[in-house]
């Protein structure tokens, strides 16, 4: 049975009610239990647990150190393309946004990757909009093959594909696939995804299972916080993670907690998740899934990221650019603008300025990777740029 069938049978309304009405006693019980059930997790994300944040943080911190040591794994996103056939109301890359677009050539991707390598990175996340013509399976496999010798850790965050289409990318050396459901609220999902193949909620939800069948050994999931109620999304992510741990057990699981950031199109968040809520959720995920990687991006400001280092986060991006060519200026020569999805030539005045492709969203932590690594060290943790070597397992 796929997760879609399990998801449709989940008593989510009851779970949410349970969370909203949980008592301090329920939360204290959950704090001492192991393993936890989804009902316990509902208690840990409750308003009552927000009042018990200190013991929740202490437990999360102890569990994280016990399972992962005092280590933060660093990675950087490398945007390959900002072309996209979908319209997602909250995303700057949406097809109908009149932005500057480009798909990097494989040589340009290598140039970008080497700039990241210079900064110390050996784990990279290749990111692209969904555009099967520009970002094809062959293109992705070529990128991975070209980078594989220099980067032992390559993951992808790209448009969902068929299992068969993933296989050559895995063979080329990719180990991880990240796909956020964005929102697990079916009605809201339909409202926010107005055009393109992404409208198919079930197809997206089954992506990690197809990726696992194709051989990916790191699976990343998450919801975009700021769309539906955060407690609802958190319950769904937890149920999804629980399913993947039972059914895709050879893979390592990571959970990301992205909150909406400003972007082209100027979409405003529909719901609020405060910093305190985010801290609570990181700790609740840690207690529920002691061995899952928890990922924090540069969407969050430096101070909050530093505060979350000891509390349960295990992976962080640093020094990120969310536009293709952002690290070296690669691809500038073949930028184009699209208006309602149609390519238009840039005018002379547009070329006169220092143009670059449009980014997906604004980042909040603008520190360099070195500054982030130094801060991690000063917090008593070790920044890790590369966590294993292919030659050791060959």
- Applying CB under 6 A, the residues found at the interface with ligand SF4 are 84, 86, 88, 91, 93-94, 129-130, 198
Q: How far is the CB of 54 from ligand SF4 (least distance, A)?
A: 36
Cβ at position 131, least distance to ligand SF4 in Å: 8
Shortest reach from residue 266's CB to ligand SF4, in Å: 14
Closest CB 29 distance from ligand SF4, rounded Å: 39
As measured in angstroms, the least distance from the Cβ of 378 to ligand SF4 is 35
Q: Which one, 314 or 317, has the nearer CB to ligand SF4?
A: 317
Query: What does the H/E/C string look like for the chain?
Result: CCHHHHHHCCCHHHHHHHHHHCCHHHHHHHHHCCCCCHHHHHHHCCHHHHCCHHHHHHHHHHHHHHHHCCEEEEEEEEEEECCCCCEECCCCCCCCCCCEECECCHHHHHHHHHHHHHCCCCEEEEEECCCCCCCCHHHHHHHHHHHHCCCCEEEEECCCCCHHHHHHHHHCCCCEEECCCECCCHHHHHHHEEECHHHCHHHHHCHHHHHHHHCCCEEEEEECECCCCHHHHHHHHHHHHHHHHHHCCCCEEEEECCECCCCCCCCCCCCCCCHHHHHHHHHHHHHHCCCCEEEECCCCCHHHHHHHHHHCCCEEECCCCCCCCCCCCCCHHHCEEEECCEEECCCHHHHHCCCCCCCCCCCCCCCCHHHHHHHHHHCCCEEECCCCCHHHHC
- What minimum distance in Å lies between the beta carbon of 19 and ligand SF4? 28
């Amino acid at each position: 049975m796929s997760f879609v069938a399990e998801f449709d049978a989940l008593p989510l309304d009851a779970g949410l009610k349970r969370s909203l009405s949980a008592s301090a006693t329920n939360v204290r019980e959950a704090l001492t239990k192991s393993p936890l059930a989804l009902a316990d997790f509902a208690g840990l994300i409750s308003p009552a647990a927000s009042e018990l944040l200190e013991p929740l943080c202490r437990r999360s911190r102890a569990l994280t150190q016990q399972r992962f040591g005092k280590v933060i794994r660093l990675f950087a996103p490398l945007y390959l393309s900002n072309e996209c056939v979908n319209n997602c109301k909250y995303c700057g890359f949406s097809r109908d946004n009149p932005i500057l677009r480009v798909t990097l050539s494989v040589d340009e991707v290598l140039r970008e990757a080497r700039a990241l390598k210079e900064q110390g990175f050996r784990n990279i996340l290749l990111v692209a909009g969904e555009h099967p013509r520009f970002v094809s399976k062959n293109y992705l496999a070529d990128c991975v093959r070209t980078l594989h010798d220099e980067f032992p850790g390559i993951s992808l965050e790209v448009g969902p594909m068929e299992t068969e289409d993933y296989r050559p990318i895995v063979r080329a050396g990719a180990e991880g696939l990240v796909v956020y459901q964005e929102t697990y609220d079916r009605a809201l999902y339909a409202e926010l995804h107005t055009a393109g193949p992404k409208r198919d909620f079930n197809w997206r939800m089954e992506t990690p299972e197809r990726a696992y069948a194709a051989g990916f050994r790191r699976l990343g999931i998450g919801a975009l916080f700021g769309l539906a109620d955060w407690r609802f999304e958190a319950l769904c992510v937890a149920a999804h993670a629980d399913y993947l741990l039972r059914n895709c057990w050879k893979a390592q699981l990571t959970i990301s907690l992205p909150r909406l950031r400003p972007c082209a199109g100027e979409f405003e968040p529909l719901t609020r998740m405060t910093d305190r809520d985010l801290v609570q959720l990181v700790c609740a995920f840690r207690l529920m899934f002691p061995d899952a990687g928890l990922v924090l991006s540069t969407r969050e400001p430096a101070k909050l990221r530093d505060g979350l280092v000891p509390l349960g986060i295990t992976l962080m991006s640093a020094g990120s650019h969310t536009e293709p060519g952002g690290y070296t200026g690669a691809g500038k020569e073949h930028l184009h603008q699209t208006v309602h999805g149609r390519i238009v030539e840039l005018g002379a005045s547009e070329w006169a300025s220092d143009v670059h492709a449009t980014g997906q969203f604004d980042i909040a932590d603008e520190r360099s990777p070195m500054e982030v690594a130094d801060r991690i060290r000063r917090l008593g943790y070790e920044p890790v740029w590369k966590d294993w070597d292919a030659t050791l397992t060959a």
